């Protein structure tokens, strides 16, 4: 009733809201349907990961770093490893650098497909949500085939990588890439040509190039506004310097940049293709050689304990620039460990892009910066005969599935 | 402009405003491409001038984040900038170190120059108890029940008294 | 007296049967949408399970709600949706209340569930619900034009063809297929009206792309946000019945053919055959404009939806009306 008198009304989106699966609180002041003012607050599930990390040794931190984010569980350990390798002056073998790129790009494909589904869901277009998540299963399967786990892969190690990709595994990766090439056109058709999607995303939530630069926006969100920031292109890490990567903007496809939600979708769609090409190149150009700087972890730990230096690393996570800073001081645990995830930077964009939107646009506009949403797991609660599955049974089933995927590999290997 | 040229310009521009100017390079990939990390120290009164000078090198310097560290008598703030971006292999990761004495934990805000530093500065205020002059009020991470506790501090104001319920089992102290 | 009891009994049977069919169709709809989205989907009996569960659950009334309005509205919504079904002829059967009201009354009664939903939402005191209620009303205003144009067109045709009969009465509508009284130009006009009535359907029943008043990801189920337990069960039934009733209305107006005329059946067989055929027609209508569209589109915004109805679909129905006028003049 109040609203009809054109009085301002305040609506809280989050920390618990069907549109946002993660606890960010966005408070929008509305006049009728129009958003007039936006404020946000973070920290609802501050886990103190950095604080915990300062009480653990680098190898233990690696596991923590993987659990910073359910989706970027290659990017975080990769940034952490690169930072500590920088501090300890460790040279990573070339083959490991290539392997790191492959895993990071597989992660990007899976993250972007997840985003496309979420974006469709925010628009109420659940058929596309289910389609994109269905095709996302393929990349999760290949990740499981290569690493033994779908989500938390635990393949990175300081000074290298823990699992090699063997010659026998390559055909299966290529098969997956072929599958994605096949469905990529269909995905493009859905997102580029569907009239209702266009109606809801074109010229909505515009972030101008100047705003993006001023607010230090990173990743696909910045690129959609025409800022060619891409750490993979700008700053050599892992094997990206060899691969001549070019930052993707909507102009790659459409010859114009508007910086709206549609552009952010396009950039991510194009990056799926880019990632596929990168993986293909890596498989072709990957050199032979060792994959670890120091395979004996005890020795590695001793070496790291003697380090008294600081290191910093930039990594292009699926959502943008990720930075880890670490300082070691002749002790087992580091004295500083600072993580800055991309969403932390991109949150600055939210008041700017929500201004003058309608309330109905809020979910899709917020989702368009792809705030890092914890990963959906694959828990099946009941099977076809309505037998409730408990944790042990689920674990047993998932081990069985992994073994079925990797049946030519030695049983019991890895972290199953 | 490639990274080496940029570092030359950076060094010339900053000149005496910074000390301990240090360039660290690492090599990556088969092509042995170099990644450049530049470290420098600035005075706590003068650091804002240094930040201002970055604007003469690049229209919008990219501020990544600031890290903070309780070093006993001082608190170190490290401002990480990613400069010379959008150029292939030419990004310079510039870290500016500012040491604040514990008695006088005050620094000027840079949000008037770089609005994108807002969350980072609020974080420093809430986690390290640094007074940031000119920064908008309002909490970002911690709620009021934790006022007076600064989790990243290693002195009596740190989080140890509230941390007994956190992970401590096999922790290294 | 006996007549009165007989009448009540008949009404009760129709209501229970309609409720059962409406929920069953709702279950089939959910299953079909799930299949279109490559999901397994819930069992077809899921709506019954939901309603049963909700009746057991606690009925929570928010502190700042106006309880009597808040509690009364779901009941009114359900009652009015069911009442519509007593006016619409099911297949060959004449409607129970056909002598007590006509097409205009039915169009009015069909407004009540939407209004009740909006009033109940306003009374709940939640800002999400208030926004949902505003949206419900805006969308209602924008599609109501189209419905009135359809009613006018139908009545116009019948009043000219059968001057002695009541043109608005369902008895007249049930006896003569509307397509038989119009000439070729009129049929084109009727076709346009039929299409616009199908276009109104998603808005009338609150399905995608016009489920704006509920909009789960925007305002957390909007008008329904504060409802729980018994009230929510009533609203679920009201929504299902509303969909069934509106689809039945479209069938009664535009697809009145019966099997018994074609295969010259008689007696009970005719009754059953006609009824089954009627259900099939209702289901086809629901599938075309409810299920299929909602699986293949994103949610529109309130201004886009209102604009679409007020300008585009209203225009479409007006052209239909004009064609019919042209047909009559010719």
Asked if the ipTM is above 0.95, the reply is: no
Contact A369, A350 (CB under 8 A): yes
Tokens of B67: 């890290």
Q: Is the peptide bond before C158 cis (omega within 30 degrees of 0)?
A: no
Shortest Cα distance from A239 to chain B (angstroms)? 4
| Contacts with A, B 60-89, CB within 8 Å | 60, 62-65, 67-69, 78, 80, 82, 84-89
Q: For residue range B51-85, what is the model confidence (pLDDT) as tens digits?
A: 888 888 888 888 888 888 888 888 888 889 888 88
A327 with B167: Cβ contact below 8 A = no
C217 with A121: Cβ contact below 8 A = yes
pLDDT (tens, 9 = 90+) of chain C, 330 residues, equals 777 888 888 888 888 888 898 899 889 888 888 888 888 888 889 899 999 999 888 888 888 888 888 888 889 998 898 888 888 877 666 777 777 777 888 888 888 888 888 888 888 878 888 888 888 888 888 888 888 888 888 888 877 777 777 777 777 777 777 777 777 777 888 888 888 888 888 888 777 777 776 777 777 777 788 888 888 899 889 888 888 888 888 888 887 777 666 666 677 777 777 788 888 888 888 888 777 787 777 788 888 888 888 888 888 888 888 888 887 777
How much is the pLDDT for C92?
Answer: 65
Which residues from chain B sit within 8 angstroms of residue A237, using beta carbons? 28, 35
Which site among C218, C224, C295, C307 would you substitute to test the A interface, given the most A Cβ atoms closer than 10 Å to its Cβ? C218
Here the CATH number for the domain that contains residue B49 is 3.30.460.80
Question: Least CB-CB distance to B60: which of A214, A237, A336?
Answer: A214
How much is the pLDDT for A376?
Answer: 29
Judge A/C contact: 3 or more CB pairs < 8 A. Answer: yes
Local confidence band at A4 (pLDDT 50, 70, 90 cut-offs)? very low
Sequence-distant (≥ 6) Cβ neighbours of residue A244 within 8 angstroms: B88
Q: Which domain holds residue B116?
A: 3-155
Q: Could you state, in order of their start, the residue ranges of all structural domains in chain A?
A: 49-378, 382-416
Local confidence band at A382 (pLDDT 50, 70, 90 cut-offs)? very low
Q: Nearest CA to C143 among C210, C69, C91?
A: C210
B65 with A344: Cβ contact below 8 A = yes
Angle made by CA atoms A316, A73, B39, in degrees to the nearest 5: 45
| Phi, psi at C257, each rounded to 5° | -65, 150
How much is the pLDDT for A411?
Answer: 43
How much is the pLDDT for A415?
Answer: 41
Buried b (16+ CB within 10 A) or exposed e, A24-57: bbbebebebbebeebebbbbeebeebbbbbbbbb
C299: left (phi over 0), alpha (psi -120 to 50) or beta: beta
| Contacts with C, A 107-126, CB within 8 Å | 120-126
How much is the pLDDT for C48?
Answer: 92
Which residues from chain A sit within 8 angstroms of residue C119, using beta carbons? none
Local confidence band at A410 (pLDDT 50, 70, 90 cut-offs)? very low
Which 8-state DSSP code applies to residue C10? Answer: H
Which site among A83, A225, A234, A326 would you substitute to test the B interface, given the most B Cβ atoms closer than 10 Å to its Cβ? A234
Statement: residue B168 has pLDDT above 70: no
Where would I find the H helices in B58-98?
Answer: none
Statement: residue A227 has pLDDT above 80: yes
C217 with A33: Cβ contact below 8 A = no
The separation between CA A150 and the C-alpha centre of its own chain, rounded to angstroms, equals 14
How much is the pLDDT for A414?
Answer: 41
- Closest residue of A to B31, CA-based? A242
Which residues from chain A sit within 8 angstroms of residue B159, using beta carbons? 48, 51
Mean pLDDT of A135-159: 86
B80 with A312: Cβ contact below 8 A = yes
Tokens of C159: 């009043």
SS3 A318: coil
Question: Least CB-CB distance to A56: which of B116, B141, B171?
Answer: B171
How much is the pLDDT for A305?
Answer: 87
How much is the pLDDT for B164?
Answer: 59
Statement: residue B158 has pLDDT above 80: no
Statement: residue B171 has pLDDT above 60: no
How much is the pLDDT for A389?
Answer: 59
B116 with A217: Cβ contact below 8 A = yes
Which residues from chain A sit within 8 angstroms of residue C302, using beta carbons? 33, 358, 360
How much is the pLDDT for A378?
Answer: 36
The C-alpha atoms of residue A328 and residue B73 are separated, in whole angstroms, by 18
C127 with A120: Cβ contact below 8 A = no
- Closest residue of A to C119, CA-based? A1
Statement: residue A384 has pLDDT above 60: no
How much is the pLDDT for A373?
Answer: 41
Please tell me which chains touch B, using 3 or more CB pairs under 8 Å as the contact test: A
A19 with C218: Cβ contact below 8 A = yes
Judge C/B contact: 3 or more CB pairs < 8 A. Answer: no
Angle made by CA atoms C48, C52, C53, in degrees to the nearest 5: 115
The C-alpha atoms of residue B60 and residue B54 are separated, in whole angstroms, by 9
Contacts of B42-45 with CB under 8 Å at 24 or more apart are: B42/B17, B42/B18, B42/B96, B42/B97, B42/B98, B43/B17, B43/B98, B44/B98, B44/B99, B44/B100, B44/B101, B44/B107
State the total domains in chain B.
Answer: 1
Q: What is the CATH number of domain A49-378?
A: 1.10.645.10
Which site among A8, A127, A190, A361 would you substitute to test the C interface, given the most C Cβ atoms closer than 10 Å to its Cβ? A127
Mean pLDDT of A210-215: 87
Shortest Cα distance from A30 to chain C (angstroms)? 10
Q: Is C259 on the interface with A (CB under 8 A)?
A: no
Shortest Cα distance from B141 to chain A (angstroms)? 4
Count interface pairs A-B at CB distance under 8 A: 155
Q: For residue range A247-303, what is the model confidence (pLDDT) as tens digits?
A: 888 887 888 888 888 888 888 888 998 999 999 988 888 888 888 888 888 888 888
SS3 A14: coil
Local confidence band at A71 (pLDDT 50, 70, 90 cut-offs)? confident
Q: Is A200 on the interface with C (CB under 8 A)?
A: yes
B26 with A86: Cβ contact below 8 A = yes
Q: For residue range A301-313, what is the model confidence (pLDDT) as tens digits?
A: 888 888 888 889 9
Which site among A18, A126, A262, A358 would you substitute to test the C interface, given the most C Cβ atoms closer than 10 Å to its Cβ? A126
Which site among B65, B76, B173 would you substitute to test the A interface, given the most A Cβ atoms closer than 10 Å to its Cβ? B65
Statement: residue A40 has pLDDT above 60: yes
How much is the pLDDT for A2?
Answer: 44
Question: Least CB-CB distance to C299: which of A11, A123, A131?
Answer: A123
Helix (H) or strand (E) run with residue A309 in it: strand A308-317
Question: Least CB-CB distance to A124: which of C127, C211, C220?
Answer: C211
Q: Is A383 on the interface with C (CB under 8 A)?
A: no
In a domain, residue B162? The reply is: no
Local confidence band at A388 (pLDDT 50, 70, 90 cut-offs)? low
């Amino acid at each position: 009733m109040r609203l009809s008198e054109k009085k301002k009304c305040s609506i809280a989106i989050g920390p618990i809201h069907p549109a946002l699966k993660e606890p960010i609180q966005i408070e929008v002041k509305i006049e009728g349907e129009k958003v007039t003012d936006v404020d946000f607050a973070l920290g609802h599930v501050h886990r103190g990961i950095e604080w915990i990390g300062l009480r653990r040794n680098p190898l233990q931190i690696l596991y923590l770093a993987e659990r910073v984010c359910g989706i970027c569980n290659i990017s975080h350990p990769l940034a952490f490893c690169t930072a500590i390798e920088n501090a300890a002056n460790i040279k990573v073998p070339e083959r490991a650098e290539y392997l790191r790129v492959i895993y990071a790009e597989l992660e990007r494909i899976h993250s972007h497909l997840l985003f496309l589904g979420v974006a469709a869901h925010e628009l109420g277009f659940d058929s596309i949500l289910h389609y994109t998540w269905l095709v996302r299963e393929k990349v999760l399967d290949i990740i499981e085939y290569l690493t033994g786990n779908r989500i938390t892969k635990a393949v990175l190690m300081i000074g290298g990588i823990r699992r090699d990709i063997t010659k026998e595994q390559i055909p299966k990766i290529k098969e997956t890439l072929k599958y994605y090439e096949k469905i990529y056109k269909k995905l493009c058709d859905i997102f580029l040509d569907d009239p209702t999607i266009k109606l809801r995303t074109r010229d909505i939530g515009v972030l101008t190039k100047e705003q993006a630069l001023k607010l230090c926006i990173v990743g696909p969100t910045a690129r959609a506004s025409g800022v060619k920031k891409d750490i993979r292109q700008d700053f050599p890490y892992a094997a990206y310097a060899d691969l001549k990567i070019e930052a993707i903007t909507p102009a790659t496809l459409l010859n114009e940049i508007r910086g709206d939600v549609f552009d952010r979708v396009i950039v991510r769609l194009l990056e799926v293709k880019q990632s596929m090409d990168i993986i293909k190149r890596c498989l072709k150009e990957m050199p032979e050689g060792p994959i670890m700087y120091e395979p004996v972890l005890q020795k590695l730990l001793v070496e790291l304990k003697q380090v008294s230096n600081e290191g910093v690393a930039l990594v292009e996570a699926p959502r943008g620039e990720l930075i880890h800073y670490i300082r070691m001081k002749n002790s087992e645990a580091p004295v500083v460990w600072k993580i800055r995830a991309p969403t932390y930077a991109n949150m600055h964009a939210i008041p700017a892009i929500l201004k003058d939107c309608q309330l109905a646009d809020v979910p899709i506009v917020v989702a368009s910066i792809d705030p890092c949403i914890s990963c959906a797991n694959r828990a099946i609660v009941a099977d076809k005969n309505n037998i409730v599955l408990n944790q042990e049974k689920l674990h047993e089933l998932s081990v069985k599935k992994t073994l079925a995927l990797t049946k030519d590999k030695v049983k019991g290997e890895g972290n199953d | 402009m490639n990274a080496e040229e940029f570092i030359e310009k950076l060094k010339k521009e900053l000149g005496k405003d910074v000390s301990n100017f240090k360039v660290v390079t690492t090599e990556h990939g088969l092509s042995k491409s170099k990644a450049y990390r530049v470290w420098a120290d600035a005075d706590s009164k003068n650091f804002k001038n240094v930040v201002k000078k970055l604007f003469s090198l690049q229209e919008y310097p990219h501020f990544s984040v600031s890290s903070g560290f309780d070093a006993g008598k001082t608190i170190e703030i490290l401002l990480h900038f990613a400069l010379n971006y959008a150029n292939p292999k030419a990004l310079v990761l510039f870290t500016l170190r500012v040491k604040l004495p514990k008695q006088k934990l005050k620094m000027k805000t840079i949000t008037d120059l770089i609005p994108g530093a807002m969350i980072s500065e609020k974080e420093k205020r809430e986690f390290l108890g640094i007074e940031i002059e000119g920064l908008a009020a309002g909490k970002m991470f911690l709620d009021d029940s934790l006022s007076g506790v600064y989790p990243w501090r290693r002195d009596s104001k740190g989080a140890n008294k509230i941390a007994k319920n956190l992970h401590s089992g096999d922790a290294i102290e | 007296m006996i007549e009165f009891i007989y009448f009540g009994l008949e009404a009760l049977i129709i209501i229970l049967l309609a409720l059962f069919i409406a929920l069953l169709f709702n279950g089939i709809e959910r299953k079909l949408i799930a299949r279109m989205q490559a999901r397994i989907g819930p069992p077809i009996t899921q709506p019954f399970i939901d309603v049963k569960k909700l009746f057991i659950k606690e009925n929570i009334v928010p502190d700042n709600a106006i309880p009597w309005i808040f509690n009364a509205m779901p009941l009114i919504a359900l009652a009015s949706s069911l009442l519509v079904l007593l006016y619409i002829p099911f297949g060959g059967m004449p409607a129970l209340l056909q002598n007590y009201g006509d097409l205009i009354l039915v169009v009015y009664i069909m407004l009540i569930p939407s209004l009740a939903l909006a009033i109940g939402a306003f009374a709940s005191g939640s800002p999400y619900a208030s926004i949902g209620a505003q949206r419900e009303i805006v969308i209602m205003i924008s599609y109501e034009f189209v419905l009135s144009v359809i009613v006018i067109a139908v009545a116009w045709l019948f009043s000219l063809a059968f001057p002695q009969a009541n043109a608005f009465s369902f008895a007249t509508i049930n006896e003569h297929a509307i397509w038989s009284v119009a000439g070729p130009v009129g049929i084109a006009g009727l076709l346009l009206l039929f299409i616009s009535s199908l276009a109104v359907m998603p808005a009338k029943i609150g399905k995608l792309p016009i489920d704006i008043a509920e909009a789960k990801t925007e305002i957390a189920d909007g008008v329904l946000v504060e409802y729980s337990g018994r009230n929510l069960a009533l609203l679920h039934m009201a929504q299902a019945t509303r969909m069934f009733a509106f689809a039945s209305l479209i069938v009664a107006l535009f697809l009145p053919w019966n099997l018994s005329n074609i295969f010259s059946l008689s007696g009970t067989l005719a009754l059953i055959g006609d009824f089954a055929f009627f259900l099939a027609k209702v289901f086809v209508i629901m599938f075309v404009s409810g299920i299929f569209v909602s699986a293949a589109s994103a949610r529109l915004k309130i201004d886009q939806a209102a604009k679409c109805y007020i300008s585009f679909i209203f225009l479409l129905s007006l052209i239909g009306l004009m064609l019919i006028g042209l047909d009559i003049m010719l």
